[in-house]
Amino acid sequence: MGIGVGIFIALGIIGNLAGGDKDKPQSGQTTKQTTNADSTAAQQTTNADVPKPAKAEPVSKPVNWNTTDLNFVSNGNMELAIDVLNQQRQTRTLQLTSPDPATVMKAPWRFYGQMIEIKGTVNSVQDYPPNSELTKKFGGGEVNELGLLCSDNETYVDALLLGTSGDIKVGDQVTVKGLPVGQVPMKITTGGEIAGLVLIGDNR
């Protein structure tokens, strides 16, 4: 979902519309020009003596996570997580943690903005092509989706990850890293549906 931003710079041209003989030097004109030149030179010398401020480091912006709507499809947290991932590539400020999957699943809002890792068995794997409706939300590149049954054999995770799944296949034991953004109903192999924890991450 690309957003185009146009920036227009208006250049103002001011004409000298003073009346009278334009070609005739005015009294005091030479003195004024000399004074302005001396003032400009002094200002340039003063400015040269002022040390330039150090280049500012990237600062992580505060994120207003939606903590009232658990459904990641409607809560808008996926887009926020994608922005955080983009910042993370520059700032590297998020510390990786390994919380209990069931604890995160029970109250995901307590872990919003945290980079977590979860281990599990792959139940499903799907890659999405560039510029599809889903991948446009991630910037247009390839995205893969892994359905996992966590090592506690109780918690299900739906991980949407930047990049391709590579050689990952159903039955593999994997570790995914990402930002929790809510829950989503998931179909399970034994039939029926169960709420799954949704992670947004990057496995490139």
Q: Is residue 156 domain-resident?
A: yes
Between 62 and 39, the more confident residue is 62
Closest CA to 75 of 87, 62, 64, 60: 64
Q: Is residue 18 domain-resident?
A: no
Domain enclosing residue 142, as ranges: 72-202
Q: Is residue 138 domain-resident?
A: yes
Contact 143, 128 (CB under 8 A): yes
pLDDT at 43: 55
Q: Is residue 105 domain-resident?
A: yes
Number of domains forming the structure of the chain: 1
Question: What is the distance between the alpha carbons of residues 24 and 154, in angstroms, rounded to a whole number?
Answer: 93
Q: Is residue 53 domain-resident?
A: no
Query: Tens digit of pLDDT for each residue in 42-71?
Result: 555 555 555 555 454 445 567 899 999 999
| pLDDT at residue 184 greater than cutoff 50 | yes
Q: Is residue 117 domain-resident?
A: yes
The CATH number assigned to the domain holding 144 equals 2.40.50.140
pLDDT at 51: 53
